[in-house]
Amino acid sequence: MVDNIVTKVIYDGDGKTTVFPFAFDFADAADVHVLLYDADADQEKVLTKDYYVDATAKTVHYPGYVPGQEPAEADRPSVLSNRQKLVIYRETPLTQLTNLGRKYPLKTIERMPDKLTYIVQELKEQVDRSIKNRISGTKTFVEYMKEIDNNAKTALKKALEAAASAVESHQQAEDAAASAKAAQESAAVSAGWNETAAANARVAENAALSAAVYSAPEWQETAAYKAGDIVTYTDGNTYRAIADSTDILPTDAAYWTRVNTYVGDNFFCIDEAGYIVPTEAPTYSGFWTLDTEGYIVPIRSA
C-alpha cells in the first residue's frame, strides 16, 4: 500500500542542522537523491558524495558518511548555510523487474503492475516535453508562468530599446557624415574663393604698381626723395626708393630698387573711372585664363 503522495522535501539551511528527515517510502535506498541549491550562485547541484541516507531512520545526513568512513574535518563541506537549500527527493527507475512465473494466475497478476509501469513510462515521456520548474523551486505553475511572461516582456522591451538606440546611432552617424561632407564642400568652395581673391589682389596690386610706373616722373638730381617714391631713369628702368635720399643715383642699391612689374597681362585694364575691368579680347596672363565657356578663371582652377 502507498498512502503518501509526497516524493520530495525541501529544507532551508540554518548553519547548524545536519540531519534532515523525510517521510516518503522508497523501493531502494539508492532511489533517494539529494540536491543542493545555492542562492548566491542561483545554481542547483545533485550531490554524489558527502551525504548519507539512513534507510531505517528515513533521514539524510549532510555532511554525512557511512559510519566508520568519515573523512577528516578539513575534507568535509560546510554545514548548510541560510543561503542554501537541501532537497531530498525520490527517483524510482521506471521499470518492473518482478517475475512471478508462468503458472496461472501468476502471469495475469504480473501483468497488472506491468501495465501500471507502462502508464508511468508514457507519462514520463509526456512530462519530459513540458516546461518544468527547478526541483528546488517553491512557486506554483501559475506563478512560474507569470514570471516567464514578465521576463519575456522585459527582454522584448530591452531588445526594442536596443534596436531603437542602434537606429538612432546609425542616423547620427549618417548625419555626422553628411555634415562632414558639407563642411568639406564648403571648405573647398572657400578655398576656391580665397584663391580667386588672392589672384584678384595680385592683379590689383600689379595694376596699381603698373599705373604708378606709367605715371612716374623722371629722376631729378636736386630733388629730395622719400621711401616709396617711384621714378624713371635714363637707363630705361623704373626705380622705387627704399630710403630717403637726395642727389643719389637710382642705380645705388642701398637707396633704390628696380621695379619689376608684370605688364604682359592683358586680361584686365583700368577704365576711365579708375576701375579694374576685363579687357574685350584677353589673350595672355600670368594669373588668369579662359575656361571652355569663355569665362575668366584663375589658372589653377581652369
Nearest-angstrom CA–CA distance, 216 and 219:
9
Task: Answer yes or no: pTM beyond 0.85.
Answer: no
Cell 631713369: give the residue. 233
CA distances to 31, 116, 118, 132, 301 from 97, in Å: 15, 13, 13, 29, 101
Tally of CA atoms within 13 A in the half-sphere of 270 that contains its CB:
14
Distance of CA 19 to the CA centre of its chain: 53
3-class secondary-structure state, position 93 = coil
Contacts of 99 (CB under 8 A, 6+ apart): 110
pLDDT in tens, the chain (302 residues): 888 899 999 999 999 999 999 999 999 999 999 999 999 999 999 999 999 999 999 999 999 999 999 999 999 999 999 999 999 999 999 999 999 998 889 989 999 999 999 999 999 899 889 877 888 888 887 887 888 889 989 999 998 988 888 888 888 888 888 888 888 887 776 666 666 666 666 656 665 666 666 677 888 988 999 998 988 888 778 888 999 998 899 899 999 998 755 445 677 777 788 787 888 777 767 677 888 888 888 876 44
Cell of 274: 579708375
C-alpha cell at 272: 576711365
Instruction: Enumerate helices (H) and strands (E) in the chain, giving the number of each.
Output: 2, 16
Residues 64, 70, 76, 81, CA torsion sign? positive
What local confidence, expressed as pLDDT, does residue 216 receive?
Answer: 79
CB 88 within 8 A of CB 22: yes
